Structure 1
Amino acid sequence: MATQPLSSETGPSSSIFSGNSRIPEDTVFFSIFPDSSLSTSSTITTDISSSLQTLHLGILNSISPFTSSYIWQHEPFSLSISFSSCVCCSSSSSPLPHLHGKLSFGDNLEDEWFTVFLLFHVSNAFPSLSIRVWDGDGEFLLIESAFHLPRWVNPDNSRNRVFIRGGDLHIIPRHLLPEPTLVDSLLFLVEHADKCRASDPVQAAVKNRISEYPERASRNMHSVRVRVPVSVALVLRHEPCFISLAVEGFYDRDIDSMRFAARMERFLSEGKRENLVRVTVRMSRAMYAQLVQQTFQAPKCYRMPNRSDAEAYMEAELGMKIACGLEMIYQQRKKEGVEGKGSTWRKYKESLERSGYFEGLIPGSKEYKRLMENAEEYYRNSSLFSRTSEMMSAPVKRIDEILALPHSVDDFKGLEVPPSDDDSWLYNGEDELNSALQERQKEMELYNAKLKKKQKSKEPQDAGTSSHTNINDFDLGEIAKSMQQFVQKVSSYKGAEVPEDRNLEEVDLDVDRFMKDMESIMKQHGHQDTAVAHGEEGLSSEMDFDDSEDESDLGDTSEDNDDAEDVFMHSYSDVMNEELKNTTLKKSFLRASEQSSKENLGASSAMDEDFTPVDVDFNLVKGLLDSFSSQQGLPGPTSNLLGLMGVQLPKDGKKSN
């Protein structure tokens, strides 16, 4: 028997939109929590609802001077009242009355940061509010201030810690609330806001990003003169924000929507006899770029002026794109409004698939179609269908209302149409990009300089000679010592770090158990491939394990095995040395005897060479110095690595010419 379709009457946090659904990458979310909601019981009263409605209207009135003339990319800034758990929480034991909203900014990142500006403004105007804002990247305000954050902050532990309150950014400290719930953090903010206010550099980094608003929002608008059909001009006169729908329809067009543009049934009812009128359209720079940068051929039914008049043709071409986009979005929304199948239906269908409703049936099969019809019927009888249908049909109904008004070409004759704004910004954006990159580069250099200064201040007193520029006072042993500390430092799963006086959580590796497991595996293959097994063990001895550990791990082996291993290792070493004699590899290493004396070059010294150990520290220092010398004073791997360790090499005085 088929599984019953999921109910669509549940709240936002427990509905089909929660769970495994991914956050859209081009959408910013925000939640506003009044302090009064924290002291309420689980029973929702009329007073709470009235308080939230009053707050809702107050916030919208507060931001209306900034948003009244702003053209949003996809949807305007809006808030709704919720009495359920916040969408930013996976679960909650009790409802939490609050305001929440989301805004799809698409390719226009300005919309997201303008939203952040509005939220900071709301926070200043209403000090008793705590605001959360996040997007597909998570806490993007922390990303903006990454160079100034405390070291403990990371994406894994920042949940329920980042808020906007009183016009400032707040970060709940980990030592005060190790694993806070949303309610815990909100209560902490109310009682101890001064203890969790982010540092001044963090505040400056975030506020600097929104410091140019709202003036920047006005500069982001672009006015352009176009020639469009009368019906399009009338719609844009009454609803200037519908230009975003037109651009969306044009930019996101597909084969199905292109069929609507080919007929132009709604906005070009008279075909080529339709007169074009000249009007000024206001849109965002992102919208203008999306229209201009795409090549699009006018439908056969669309009247275009002669190309000989370049100005008129360019105005008509841009207007044609707007008219076609408006036609496509109108017909598409009309169809989705009737069917009620927008993004809500897609998410509902995905929830059915995840729950196993289709029982692994092949799409298109008879049983699959029967289950799909059952799901569609259930969906049409749900509140989701009515809400989606109403939302999709809203622009369609508004356009129909506008076009029902009496209108003619004469309504747009004799009107003064200002010229288009300069669009050189579209082609000269390299300077702005370079300026932004240089600003980030300066920020990174300042961060590295502070980090380097901090590391130098932590150096022991006996390591001070490493900073001397006099080569006679420079202790080369510090290089080998620092490198040994770096190699011996146990790294975490995040990678190796320069030795520093910090308590870091490291990977807990049971060396004894690891060696015993390796020994067990080697014994299993010992009878079939003894040489390979012992060869692997010989190579593993090069790892930095203590001899005591090796002996304890292998203490249960017999003396015969020990003797056999010794014989094998000697044979293995002889064969390896014999192979290396035919190469120049051994000549690249200096041995201990070569440092003290190079006078004895007879046959006996050649024989003793095989038994003379390689001076690891000397070869290490020599290699680093040779590499540093080849940098000729420029940045390079050696200076960067040693610089992180607090070792400052003096300049090479021999490279004088």
Structure 2
Amino acid sequence: MAESNHHFQELDDPFSSNHSRLPDDTVFYSIYPYFSLCSSSSAITDHLQSLHLQILSTISPLTSDYIWQHEPFSLSPSTSDNLPHFHGKVKFGDNLDDEWFVVFLLFHISRKFTSVSVRVWDTDGEFLLIEAAYYLPRWLNPENSSNRVFIRNSEVHIIPRKQFSSTPPLKDALKFLIEHPEITRASDAVQSAIKGRISDYPDKARRNVHRVRVRVPVSIAQVLRHEPCLISLAVEGFYDRDIDTMKYAANMKKFLPNGREEELVLVSVKMSRAMYAQLLQQKFQAPKCYPMPPLPPRTDQTTYMEAELGMKIACGFEMMYQQRKKEGEEGKGSTWEAFKESFEKIGYFEGLLRGSQEYKRLMEKVEEYYKERALHYRASEMLSAPVRRIDEILALPHSSDDFKGLEVPSSDDDSWLYCGEEELKSVLEDRQREMELYEQQQKRKQKGKAKVDDDLSNMNTNDFDLKDIAKSMDTFVQKVSSYQGAEVPEDRDLQDVDFDVGRFMKELQSATRPSGGADGVSDVDAEEGSLSDMDFDDSEDESDVEAPNEKEFMNAYTETLNEELRGTTLKKSFVRATDHSPKKDEHMSNDAEEDMDDDFTPVDVDFNLVQSLLDSFSSQQGLPGPASNLLGLMGKQLPQDDPGKSGKGN
């Protein structure tokens, strides 16, 4: 896809990372300006135009001399999904350097324009996370990473799980990213892993361009002189050839009209290293009509290799040209009429009369935008409509004399083609070190966890007196608390409460009648300032005549409460002290026996307390919970359950 075919077009499927049929070997990206989240719709288009040209001007010095494998970096405005942004894609094919050069450009854009947020993904999904796989949070995986990974201000950001448990809506994720960059910023290890991958750019991009001398027909030399970027289509046509397209190469009607009478000329061609390798490694028999020089030693070895490489390029041009012409899918390019129509479709001139002053003003802005952006997309135009452009070039006067006497620089050193083993070994060693470091960290974590488990399992449960729990709980409950709350072990880190006792007493006396203090307060309670000495005994002010009525009421209340409980199963939930139960009559029915047990067998309060605490502690499965917290306040710690043993301790 060339950028020129998509001006402000609504695109949803191809650029969605959730799309199930993404093209192979293609990197996708979207850039979201801050104003798209807050500006009014009337101002969006103007803002997009201005920012679009600024971004293109920023990256143009980095991309002007770069030869892309299949298609150049492109950026198209879009107003789809009520979220105006820019999007683009680059098919990198076998040249993985193209993909990482795109990542570098996106980081560069985010550094120059700090108000934008960037997303990038490919057929594999969030490939940035793959690069930093050993340093990611454990919760992050391919299933929940959608709309979570962004580039902003030249740093990687990850929307945390606690903010959005499921896939966050894109607009909400962008707002959170802008408002809380300190929370979303990925760890330093993640930053280093990803930035290390692009640290050699843009120098690596320049090294990726390989210059080579070739001998080609005059028509091919003429095309490459005017449009060097078309070499990518020629190599693609040669490398992806099939039986049908090879028929075109057998005749060479377009680029070799005179057959073997054509003269080969020496030119220098720029291509990516991947293209050079693709041409060099392919064995291809020259068509009978092609004017190949004699084999060495009749011909110099270098001359023959230059001609052989040029032959492959020429055949690639022929196959690409004829195939595209047959399919009739030639791109129209961004003609002025098509460009203007795209603005009319999005309502840019809505409500304005043709010929009005405001209409003319907006039209002038569109014309200026069209001219300026066209300067940045010449390569895209050529790759979008190669047949038309080739016809235009070959229609110009040209001959072999145009290329004679020219100084042609020598080919670049291609030793890198044979030394890739060292580079591959270096990359594998880096990955190996990352993996070993990750495994060491995991082993340390597991070793630490195992040590804690061993310490807990080695605790002698026989030395742990469960009766002490009941005793501690009884002391804890019976203890009269002060205004500072329930007592806890003295080594706990607690802060004193700022409490004005005198003022509290005055407020209390003003709201209640005076009353004597209660006797029977322990010395410890008195020392800790217990409020039990302020308890009021209402019975002192009541007559003795009312006492029997209170006693009768309590008896009636107790009898009614017991009657209510007899119809429930609550009594069966407690363990009773059976060792103190009276002997049962052998002739007594089971129901009668059970009723007698309920009436006369006392509840073992301590046993029920301990059993309930143990059940609660066991249900926590080693995690924090109410039982462990309560026991911790009393200074007690239970050992973890041993899965190898059955039953509870008692």
* Deviation sequence 1:467-495 (CA, Å, 0-9, x none): xxxxxxxx9xxxxxxxxxxxxxxxxxxxx
Q: What residue is the counterpart of 1:101 in the other structure?
A: 88
Rounded to whole Å, the distance in 1 between the matches of 2:112 and 2:330 is 43
SS at match of 2:186: coil
Report Cα offsets for 1:509-565 as digits up to 9, x if no partner. Answer: xxxxxxxxxxxxxxxxxxxxxxxxxxxxxxxxxxxxxxxxxxxxxxxxxxxxxxxxx
SS at match of 2:157: strand
The AA in structure 1 aligned to 2:230 is F
Sort the Cα spacing of 1:66 and 1:452 in 2 relative to 1 into closer, same or farther, 3 A: same
1-structure distance, mates of 2:393, 2:406 = 20
Matching residue within 271, 278, 288 for 2:276: 288
Aligned-partner residue type, residue 292 of structure 1: L
Displacement of 1:56: 1.1
| 2:435 is equivalent to residue 444 of structure 1 | yes
C-alpha distance in 1, partners of 2:256/2:382? 25
Aligned to 1:278: 266
Residue 11 of structure 1 and its aligned partner are, at CA, apart by 3.9
Show CA shifts across 1:213-259 (max 9, x none). 01111111111110001110111111111110110110111122111
Alignment match, 2:46: 50
CA–CA distance in structure 1, aligned partners of residues 255 and 13 of structure 2 = 42
Partner of 1:134: 121
The one-letter code of the counterpart of 1:78 is S
In the other structure, the counterpart of 2:30 is 31
Partner of 1:124: 111
SS at match of 2:266: strand
Deviation at 1:442, TM superposition (A): 0.4
Distance 1:149 1:393 in 2: 40
CA displacement at 1:337 relative to structure 2: 2.6
Structure 2 equivalent of residue 144 of structure 1: 131
Whether the aligned pair in 2 keeps the contact of 1:62 and 1:122 (CA below 8 Å) is yes
Structure 1 CA distance, aligned partners of 2:255 and 2:16?
36
Number of the residue aligned with 1:69: 65
Aligned position for 2:308: 317
Q: What is the aligned partner in structure 1 of residue 21 from structure 2?
A: 22
Query: How far is 1:37 from its partner?
Result: 0.5
- How far off is 1:425 after superposition? 1.8
Partner in structure 2 of residue 404 of structure 1: 395
Cα distance 1:14–1:108, how it changes in 2: closer, same or farther (>3 A)?
A: closer
SS, match of residue 86 in structure 2: strand
1:256 is aligned to 244
1:465-614 pair list within 5 angstroms: none
2:184 maps to which residue? 196
In structure 1, what is the equivalent of residue 592 of structure 2? Answer: none
SS of equivalent to 1:52:
helix
CA contact (8 A) 1:25 1:137 kept: no
> Structure 2: which amino acid aligns with 1:28?
V
CA contact (8 A) 1:12 1:18 kept: no
- C-alpha separation between the residues in 2 aligned to 1:147 and 1:427? 31
1:177 aligns with 2:164: yes
Report if the CA contact (8 A) 1:227-1:277 is conserved. yes
Deviation at 1:40, TM superposition (A): 4.0
| Aligned partners of 1:243 and 1:283 also within 8 Å | yes
Alpha-carbon separation, structure 2, partners of 1:198 and 1:103: 26
Counterpart amino acid of residue 255 in structure 1: I
- Counterpart residue type for residue 33 of structure 1: Y
Matched position secondary structure for 1:228: strand
Q: Quickly say closer, same or farther: Cα 1:288–1:458, change in 2 above 3 A.
A: same
Which residue in 1 is equivalent to 2:596?
none
In structure 1, what is the Cα distance between the partners aligned to 2:329 and 2:132? 47
Partner letter of residue 184 of structure 1? D
User: What is the alpha-carbon distance in structure 2 between the residues aligned to residue 199 and residue 19 of structure 1?
Assistant: 26
- Give the aligned residue type for 1:32: I
Q: How far, CA to CA, are the matches of 2:320 and 2:24 in structure 1? A: 22
By how many angstroms is 1:455 displaced?
2.7
Q: Per the alignment, do residues 62 and 11 of structure 1 end up closer, same or farther by CA in structure 2, a change over 3 Å counting?
A: closer
RMSD of aligned residue pairs (Cα, Å): 2.6
In 2, distance between residues paired with 1:203 and 1:289?
A: 33
3-state SS of paired residue (1:102): strand
CA contact (8 A) 2:233 2:383 kept: no
Contact 1:37 1:48 in 2 (8 A): yes
For residues 159 and 48 of structure 2, the distance between their equivalents in structure 1, rounded to whole angstroms, comes to 26
Structure label with greater radius of gyration: 2
2:223 and 2:283 map into 1 onto residues whose CA distance is 25
Q: Deviations over 1:396-435 (max 9, x none)?
A: 1111111112111111111111221222222221111111
Q: Which residue of 2 aligns with 1:13?
A: 12
2:215 corresponds to which letter in structure 1?
Answer: R
- Pair 1:327–1:434, CA change in 2 (3 A): same
For residue 413 of structure 2, what is the amino acid of its counterpart? D
* Matching residue of 1:241: 229
Counterpart contact for 1:240–1:282, Cα < 8 Å: yes
Cross-structure match for 2:540: none
- Tell whether the 8 Å contact from 1:266 to 1:327 is kept in structure 2 after alignment: yes
| 8 Å CA contact retained: 1:333, 1:392 | no
CA contact (8 A) 2:10 2:78 kept: no
**Percent same amino acid at aligned positions?**
66
Contact 1:260 1:328 in 2 (8 A): yes
**Where does residue 166 of structure 1 map in the other structure?**
153
What amino acid sits opposite 2:273 in the alignment? R
Q: Does 1:206 align with 2:214?
A: no
User: Contact (CA 8 Å) 1:334, 1:392: kept in 2 or not?
Assistant: no
Structure 2, gaps ≥5 residues long: 1-7, 333-380, 459-650
Mark the CA change 1:220 to 1:271 in structure 2 (over 3 Å): closer, same or farther: same
Where do 5+ consecutive residues of structure 1 fail to align? 1-8, 86-94, 342-389, 467-474, 476-657
* Total equivalences in the alignment: 400
Amino acid at match of 2:57: N
1:209–1:393 CA distance, 2 compared to 1 (3 A): closer
- Does residue 411 of structure 2 align to residue 424 of structure 1? no
Give me the TM-score of the superposition, normalised by structure 1.
Answer: 0.58
Question: How far apart are 1:287 and its partner, in Å?
Answer: 0.3
**How far apart are the structure 1 equivalents of 2:406 and 2:303?**
17
User: How has the CA–CA distance of structure 1 residues 447 and 270 changed in structure 2, closer, same or farther, with 3 Å as cutoff?
Assistant: same
